[in-house]
A = this chain, B = another copy of it.
Amino acid sequence: MKSFTNKEIAALEHLYKINLINSATGFKSANLVGSISNSGIENVSVFSSVVHFGSAPPLLGMVFRPTTVARNTYDNIKENQYYSLNHIHQDMMKEAHHTSAKYPFEVNEFDKTALEQEYKPDSKVPFVKGAPVQLLMKYANEYTIKENGTILLLGEIEKLYVQPQLIHNDGFIDLSKGNVVTINGLDGYVKTELIERLPYQRPKK
């Protein structure tokens, strides 16, 4: 095995380091976050840090890095409390990745990509049309990570939309069947195939 100590990691060239460490968690979720400022400027931005924190209430977290373009999303969420999560279909991955470009606040990424906004009857935030899974989220809380200034933002699922053919009888959503991608590192887009669902495990005698 090739190895890297923490001192060696700290001394790596910047791009090498961020590629390496961003690949080191394993695969990541691929979401487009839709938001809108109170002044009406829409934003859509790719995130790979959405993680499950609980099912009752249904609570999801995402990580914001203080100095990135993603702060437009953060500011919008703080302003109006609501945002959308949209799973990235393989056919939209190039457009989704383009939202990582550092546009100023006043630019609407929907105008710079082929991604299309969609407004549901009962919400005021933009969703991404065609996403196989869409979630309307409401801001719940945030925790500032003192080690590096990142922010863990928690939101509660207000409403969940799923393509009906993806849902198994027991509530499982088959993301591979929906052609949802996963992310490897900073820039690797990955297609998937469900091997199998494994049964609930009980201790062996």
Contacts and interface: CB of A to CB of B under 8 A. Distances in A.
Interface of A: 1-6, 9-10, 12, 15-31, 48-61, 63, 65, 87-88, 90, 93-94, 97-103, 107, 112, 133-135, 140-141, 143, 145-148, 150, 152, 154, 156-164, 167-168, 170-176, 180-182, 184-204
Nearest to A4: B160
B185 A182 contact: no
Contact of A192 (B15, B93, B182): B182
Given A18-B55, A143-B143, A148-B57, A90 B195 contact: yes
A16 B171 contact: yes
A188 B203 contact: no
Nearest to A161: B1
A85 to B, nearest CB: 8
A21 B175 contact: no
Contacts of A12: 171
B94 A148 contact: no
A46 to B, nearest CB: 9
A24 B159 contact: no
Nearest to A29: B26
Given A3-B159, A21-B157, A191-B193, 20 more contacts: A1-B164, A2-B162, A3-B162, A9-B160, A10-B56, A15-B170, A17-B171, A20-B160, A24-B52, A25-B29, A59-B147, A97-B201, A101-B203, A102-B202, A143-B152, A175-B184, A188-B197, A190-B195, A192-B192, A192-B193
